[in-house]
């Protein structure tokens, strides 16, 4: 009797499963080219050896797309009018594409604008202030306006007063003393009663700046304090992972730190983007990337920049 009941329940479950599967239809959401949105990535820097003010204007890619080199080469939007104003002067940025440049200076141009030189197989197009007519200054407010195909895109950013690093020092990472790796400590004197936001890159042996997996931080835990903290080395996302050296600096290397003070809207863009990028997998939660651009997705961000050159000491 017991075996008969088990057989009955098993047969019923199998029958229900077959019925449900037969009633299931594949759902493919519709995506139209006209649903694509403009995407802005623009930055203006004040400080030492600042990158020229530039704006990338592209179109978003539909979710269900075949992404290849040709896709990337067709997303750049050309023939837009892009201007930057400080409230007194208005400067129109000049459009250029990497393919318009001789091969011998193409890589140098990509590096100067903060692009990955290895990506120069792409015909990257940008709107650039080649002659620094925008003259960005700490404490300034800068309005971006883009006119393209009867559409108008606007955004505003500020360049805060820089909060510099000082008292850079080296010691051994936790654990056994090492002859090959070292930890870097830095100190900031965070202004009191103001919300402050920071971002950084690192470079080793002139190989180009790399962003950490989490490159931004606010001052919620050290507002108004002189605060010392370890500044970990940024690791390339396509590099080999080694848990024993991840985030530490190799002794004998020359490094450069690009330390930046940013405003809150700029911070929120990177904070949400990096959380979304790092929070992947089937059980991750949905996260909307913050944007400070009206009429498009993306960011128009100001940086107050300082650079620090260091030699990682030998033992």
Assign residue 218 the CATH number of its domain.
2.60.40
Q: Same structural domain for residues 123 and 231? A: no
Q: How many domains does the chain have?
A: 2
Report CA torsion sign: 207, 208, 212, 213: negative
* Nearest-angstrom CA–CA distance, 106 and 97: 10
Q: Is residue 5 part of a domain?
A: no
Asked if 114 and 146 count as a contact pair (C-beta separation under 8 A), the reply is no
HSE-up of 192 (CA within 13 Å, CB side)? 3
Q: Is residue 237 part of a domain?
A: yes
Question: Which one of 158, 187, 220 terminates a domain?
Answer: 158
Q: Same structural domain for residues 84 and 182? A: no
pLDDT, tens only, 8-65: 444 454 444 454 445 545 545 555 555 789 999 999 999 987 789 999 999 988 765 6
Which residue segment(s) compose the domain that 152 sits in?
33-158
Statement: residue 213 has pLDDT above 60: yes
The mean pLDDT value for 121-128 works out to 84
Q: Is residue 298 part of a domain?
A: no
The mean pLDDT value for 230-245 works out to 84
Q: Same structural domain for residues 152 and 188? A: no
pLDDT at position 8, please? Answer: 47
Cα dihedral 245, 248, 251, 252, rounded to 10, equals 110
pLDDT, tens only, 240-259: 778 888 999 999 999 999 99
Q: Same structural domain for residues 131 and 188? A: no
- In this structure, the number of other CB atoms found within 10 A of the CB of residue 254 comes to 12
Please tell me which residue, 296 or 27, carries the higher pLDDT value.
296
Q: Same structural domain for residues 41 and 135? A: yes
HSE-up of 270 (CA within 13 Å, CB side)? 26
Question: Which one of 158, 179, 201 terminates a domain?
Answer: 158
Comparing 1-10, 75-84, 183-192, 280-289, the range with the smallest average pLDDT is 1-10
Q: Same structural domain for residues 110 and 183? A: no
Please tell me which residue, 5 or 52, carries the higher pLDDT value.
52
Q: Same structural domain for residues 171 and 233? A: yes
Q: Same structural domain for residues 182 and 150? A: no
pLDDT at position 11, please? Answer: 47
Q: Same structural domain for residues 181 and 124? A: no
């Amino acid at each position: 009797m017991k075996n008969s009941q088990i057989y009955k329940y098993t047969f019923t479950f199998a029958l229900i499963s077959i019925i449900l599967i037969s009633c299931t239809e594949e759902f493919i959401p519709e995506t139209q080219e006209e649903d694509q949105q403009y995407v802005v990535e623009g930055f203006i820097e004040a400080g030492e050896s600042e990158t020229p003010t530039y704006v990338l204007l592209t179109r978003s890619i539909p979710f269900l797309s075949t992404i290849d080199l040709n896709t990337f080469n067709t997303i750049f939007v050309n023939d837009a009018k892009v201007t930057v104003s400080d409230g007194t002067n208005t400067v129109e940025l000049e459009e250029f594409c990497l393919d318009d440049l001789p091969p011998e200076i193409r890589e140098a141009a990509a590096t100067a604008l903060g692009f990955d030189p290895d990506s120069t197989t792409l015909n990257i197009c940008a709107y650039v202030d080649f002659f620094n007519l925008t003259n960005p200054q700490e404490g300034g407010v800068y309005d971006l306006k883009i006119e393209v195909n009867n559409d108008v895109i606007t955004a505003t950013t500020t360049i805060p007063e820089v909060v510099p690093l000082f008292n850079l020092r080296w010691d051994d990472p936790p654990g056994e003393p090492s002859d090959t790796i070292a930890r870097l400590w830095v100190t900031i004197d965070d202004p009191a009663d103001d919300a402050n936001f920071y971002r950084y890159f690192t470079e080793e042996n002139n190989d180009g700046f790399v962003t950490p997996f989490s490159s931004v931080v606010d001052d919620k835990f050290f507002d108004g304090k002189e605060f010392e903290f370890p500044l970990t080395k940024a690791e390339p996302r396509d590099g080999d992972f080694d848990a024993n050296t991840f985030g530490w600096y190799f002794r004998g290397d020359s490094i450069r730190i690009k330390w930046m003070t940013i405003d809150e809207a700029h911070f929120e863009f990177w904070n949400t983007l990096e959380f979304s990028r790092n929070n992947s997998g089937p059980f991750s939660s949905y996260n909307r990337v913050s944007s400070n651009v009206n009429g498009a997705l993306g960011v128009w961000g100001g940086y107050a920049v300082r650079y620090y050159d260091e030699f990682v000491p030998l033992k």
